[in-house]
Structure 1
Amino acid sequence: MSKAKRLNEMMMMVNRKKRFTVGELAQEFGVSKRTVLRDLQELSELGVPLYSETGPHGGYQVLNERILPPIAFSENEAISIFFAIHALRHYMSLPFDAQYDSIKKKFYLNLAGDIRETIDSMKDRVDFYTAYEQKDEIPFLRVLLEAAVQQNVLLIKYETNDTTSERTIQPIGIYANQGKWYCPAYCFLREDYRMFRCDRIMFAEHDENTVPIDLSEINLKNRFSVLTRPRETLELSVELTTKGVERYGSLTWPYLELHVREDGSGILRGGIAPKDIDFFSDFFISFGREAVIQKPSELIERTKKTLFEMVNQYAQNEDSSSTDD
Structure 2
Amino acid sequence: MKKSERLNLELAFLSNKVVFQLQDLMTTFDISKRTALRDVAALEELGLPLYSEVGPGGGYKITQHRSMIPIYFNNQEVSAIFFALKALKNLSSTPFSQSYPRITDKLMASLSPSQQATVRMMQGAVHYYTGASISHPQFLNDFLTIILETRPAEILCPVRWGAKTVEIQAFELLYRNGIWFCEAVLLSSKEWVTLRIDQVEAFKLIKEPPTVFDRSQLHKLKQHYEKTHHDIAFYCLLTQKGAEKFEKNHYPNMHLRMLGEQYELYGGYNKDEYEYMIEYLLSFGAEVKVQSPPALQQGYIAKLKILVSNYE
Normalising by the residue count of structure 1, what TM-score does the alignment of the two structures yield? 0.73
Which deviations, in whole Å up to 9, do the C-alpha atoms of 1:33-87 show, x marking residues without a partner?
Answer: 22312323544675768888999999778899x9x99854321111110111122
Which position in structure 2 is the counterpart of 1:270?
Answer: 268
Kept after mapping to 1: 8 A contact 2:172/2:184: yes
Gaps of at least 5 residues in structure 2 are none
Identity between Structure 1 and Structure 2 (%)? 27
Which position in structure 2 is the counterpart of 1:171?
Answer: 170
Is residue 93 from structure 1 mapped to residue 90 from structure 2 by the alignment?
A: no
Which region of structure 1 is more displaced relative to structure 2, 125-134 or 169-178? Answer: 125-134
Listed as ranges, the matches of 1:1-325 within 5 Å are: 6-11=6-11, 22=22, 25-26=25-26, 31-43=31-43, 72-96=72-96, 98=98, 100=100, 103-104=103-104, 107=107, 114-115=114-115, 118-119=118-119, 122=122, 129-135=129-135, 137-159=136-158, 161=160, 163-217=162-216, 224-227=222-225, 234-249=232-247, 251=249, 253-261=251-259, 263=261, 265-274=263-272, 276-315=273-312
User: Tell me, what secondary structure is at the counterpart of 2:278?
Assistant: helix
- CA-CA distance at 1:313 after TM superposition: 3.2
Write the distance in 2 (CA, Å) between the matches of 1:310 and 1:123. 43
Kept after mapping to 2: 8 A contact 1:194/1:227: no
Write the distance in 1 (CA, Å) between the matches of 2:70 and 2:137. 32
User: Tell me, what secondary structure is at the counterpart of 1:73?
Assistant: coil
Kept after mapping to 2: 8 A contact 1:277/1:298: no
Normalising by the residue count of structure 2, what TM-score does the alignment of the two structures yield? 0.75
User: Tell me, what secondary structure is at the counterpart of 1:139?
Assistant: coil
Number of matched pairs: 311
Which deviations, in whole Å up to 9, do the C-alpha atoms of 1:156-180 show, x marking residues without a partner?
Answer: 2221527322221112221323333
- The 1:44–1:151 alpha-carbon spacing in structure 2 relative to 1, beyond 3 Å, is closer
User: Tell me, what secondary structure is at the counterpart of 1:174?
Assistant: strand
Write the distance in 1 (CA, Å) between the matches of 2:161 and 2:224. 27
User: Tell me, what secondary structure is at the counterpart of 1:143?
Assistant: helix
User: Tell me, what secondary structure is at the counterpart of 1:217?
Assistant: helix
